[in-house]
Amino acid sequence: MEAKTDIKSMTLEELKDCLVSMGEKPFRAKQLYEWVHVRLVSSFDEMTNLPKSLREKLKESCSLTVLTQEDLQISKIDGTRKYLFALSDGNMVESVLMKYEHGNSVCISSQVGCRMGCRFCASTLDGLVRGLTPSEMLDQIYRIQTDIGERVSNVVVMGTGEPLDNYDNLIRFIHLLTDPNGLNISQRNVTVSTCGIVPRIYDLAREDLQITLALSLHASTQEKRQELMPIANRYDIHEVLKAMKDYVNATGRRVTFEYSLVGGVNDTDEDAVRLAGLLKGLLCHVNLIPVNPIKERSYVQSNHRRVLAFQKKLENLGINVTIRRELGRDIDGACGQLRRRHLRG
Ligand code: SAH
């Protein structure tokens, strides 16, 4: 049997062509697109302004990707909601909703598992299964917006997976997510976080997007970065910083550097001084994250005083820096933990 067309991954233009080829009028595409991307329905039967005959035809040749909620954990501390969703092939992904004063922010996964191998991360322990389709990335947001009955205003691609290792699907996802005919999330409210796949950073800079790019830096020297992140063996720290500079020049956007503080590994004053040196003159912001310990590894968090001292040091050296609020500490905080718990049963 031929695979069904994944209509949630199609642009409005593509949908028009598709419907016309089925012998339908182009305006049906606009109606269909609105059911899928604005009203966020989960079945063809809910598309009540489409003739029943068309709905039947669509059911036969097209699929409507809808994730199934398998688990939900709600933080008693701050209301953060962590969702576990099943995909149609039975794989599972995690997504997180965080409520901020400026709006609802959803953190999505871009792959099932990950092959980047960062030493402190739970998502990569079992390797990569596959990349998510654009529709599977979108539907994490659609299901959460439907569940809470409130608009999602910010999206961060910082869950499981390396988004730039699923590049074409990521770009298509961003276009659909920020489409004025769809959910219409502002490009400026979309952040993509990468471990630093250098050629794809140059590509992303040329997509003519106004999204925020975040680089997981986590070290102030090539040697220390190599210890924490295998990707550093492919691309040297200076190469990746050069690519980030190019991103700033090409897009005019301020970039973010994520720096997870690991006790006794990358959190000394000397690290802060070297980090400030690396970032000097670059339009950027540093986000400090106290590492979230996973039981498979022995890394520990820097103590709070050390985190504050590290921040102060960077500030004194003229670097824009914030400490990431640790939301949802009581609900399997670190990336990939909820999915792993379910995999192990
Ligand atoms: N692959 C992408 C996005 C997913 S990881 C990337 O590497 O950026 C999202 C962020 O969480 C990254 O900065 C990652 O390094 C960090 N991270 C992963 N596990 C962590 C942990 N246990 N504690 C703190 N930060 C972690």
**Which of 18, 24, 62, 94 is the catalytic position?**
94
Quote the percentage of the chain above a pLDDT of 90: 88
Give tens-digit pLDDT for 234-255.
999 999 999 999 999 999 999 9
Active site residue 94: yes
Each residue of 163-200: pLDDT tens digit? 999 999 999 999 999 999 999 999 999 999 999 999 99
Find the radius of gyration of the CA atoms of the chain: 21
Q: Cα angle at 155 between 187 and 209, to 5 degrees?
A: 25
Q: What is the pLDDT of residue 328?
A: 72
CA-CA distance, 132 to 161, in Å (whole number)? 9
pLDDT of residue 213: 98
Q: What band does 78 get if pLDDT is binned at 50, 70 and 90? A: confident
Which pTM was predicted? 0.96
Measure 43 CA to ligand 1 centroid, in angstroms: 34
The least confident of 62-71, 81-90, 288-297 is 288-297
The pLDDT of residue 254 is 98
User: Which phi and psi angles does 155 have, rounded to 5°?
Assistant: -130, 130
Q: Which atom of ligand 1 is nearest to the CA of 214?
A: 8
> Residue 150 contacts by C-beta under 8 Å, 6 or more apart in sequence?
104
Answer positive or negative: Cα dihedral of 110, 111, 115, 120.
positive
CA distance 96 to 88: 20
121 CA to centre of ligand 1 in angstroms: 6
Q: Which pLDDT belongs to residue 325? A: 75
Residues 281, 254 contacting (CB under 8 angstroms): no
Note the pLDDT of residue 324.
84
Nearest CA to ligand 1 atom 11: 158
Phi and psi, residue 114, nearest 5°: -165, 150
Q: Is 34 a catalytic residue?
A: no
Name which of 78-82, 177-181, 222-226, 256-260 the model is least confident about. Answer: 78-82
pLDDT tens for residues 199-220? 999 999 999 999 999 999 999 9
**pLDDT tens digits, 301-336:** 999 999 999 999 999 999 999 998 776 767 765 556
Ligand 1 atom with the smallest distance to the CA of 258 is: 13
Distance (angstroms) between ligand 1 centre and the Cα of 216 equals: 7
**DSSP-derived 3-state class of residue 254:** coil
Atom of ligand 1 at shortest distance to CA of 218? 15
Residue nearest to atom 24 of ligand 1 (CA): 291
Report the distance separating Cα 216 and Cα 187, nearest Å: 20
